[in-house]
Amino acid sequence: MPYPSKEIMALPLGLLVCFIIGVECSLSQLDRIAQLPGQPPVWFQQYSGYVTVDDKNQKALFYYFAEAEIDSASKPLVLWLNGGPGCSSLGVGAFSENGPFRPSGKGLVKNQYSWNREANMLYLETPIGVGFSYSTNTSSYEGVDDKITDMHRQYILCLFSSRLDSELTKDHLYRHFTSHLKLFLFLFLFLLSIARDNLVFLQRWFVKFPQYRSRSLFITGESYAGHYVPQLAELMLQFNKKEKLFNLKGIALGNPVLEYSTDFNSRAEFFWSHGLISDTTYKMFTSVCNYSRYVSEYYRGSVSPLCSRVMSQVTRETSRFVDKYDVTLDVCISSVLSQSKVLTPQQVGDNVDVCVEDETVNYLNRPDVQMALHARLVGVRRWAVCSNGDQDSVIPLTGSRILVHRLSEELGLKTTVPYRVWFEGQQVGGWTQVYGNILSFATIRGASHEAPFSQPERSLVLFKAFLGGQPLPEAF
- In 131-216, beta strands by DSSP E: 134-135
> What is d(CA 450, CA 255) in angstroms, rounded to the nearest whole number?
8
Question: Is 152 considered catalytic here?
Answer: no
DSSP β-ladder status, 77-81 and 217-222: parallel
Max intra-chain CA distance, the chain = 89
What letter would DSSP give residue 192? Answer: H
Helix H or strand E encompassing 439? strand 439-442
C-beta pairs of 147-151 under 8 Å, 24+ apart in sequence: 148/186, 148/190, 149/85, 149/86, 149/387, 150/299, 151/183, 151/186
Q: CA nearest 124: which of 50, 183, 186?
A: 50
Which one of the listed residues 28, 72, 227, 449 is annotated catalytic? 449
Distance of CA 308 to the CA centre of its chain: 31
Helix H or strand E encompassing 415? strand 415-424
Helix H or strand E encompassing 77? strand 77-81
Question: Is 139 considered catalytic here?
Answer: no
A 10 A CB-CB count for 153 gives 18
Q: CA nearest 224: which of 333, 370, 81, 404?
A: 81
Whether 155 and 189 have beta carbons less than 8 Å apart is answered as no
DSSP β-ladder status, 415-424 and 427-435: antiparallel
3-class state of residue 433 by DSSP = strand
Which one of the listed residues 392, 400, 440, 454 is annotated catalytic? 392
Which one of the listed residues 89, 114, 223, 408 is annotated catalytic? 223
Residues in contact with 334: Cβ distance below 8 Å, sequence separation at least 6, in sequence order: 355, 358
Q: CA nearest 257: which of 228, 300, 296?
A: 228
C-beta pairs of 455-458 under 8 Å, 24+ apart in sequence: 455/342, 455/389, 456/98, 456/111, 456/112, 456/113, 457/113, 457/424, 457/425, 458/424, 458/429, 458/430
Angle CA 465–235–264, to nearest 5 = 65
Question: Is 223 considered catalytic here?
Answer: yes
> What is d(CA 253, CA 428) in angstroms, rounded to the nearest whole number?
21
DSSP β-ladder status, 101-104 and 217-222: unpaired
What letter would DSSP give residue 166? Answer: T
Q: CA nearest 121: which of 89, 93, 79?
A: 79
Residues identified as active-site: 223, 392, 449
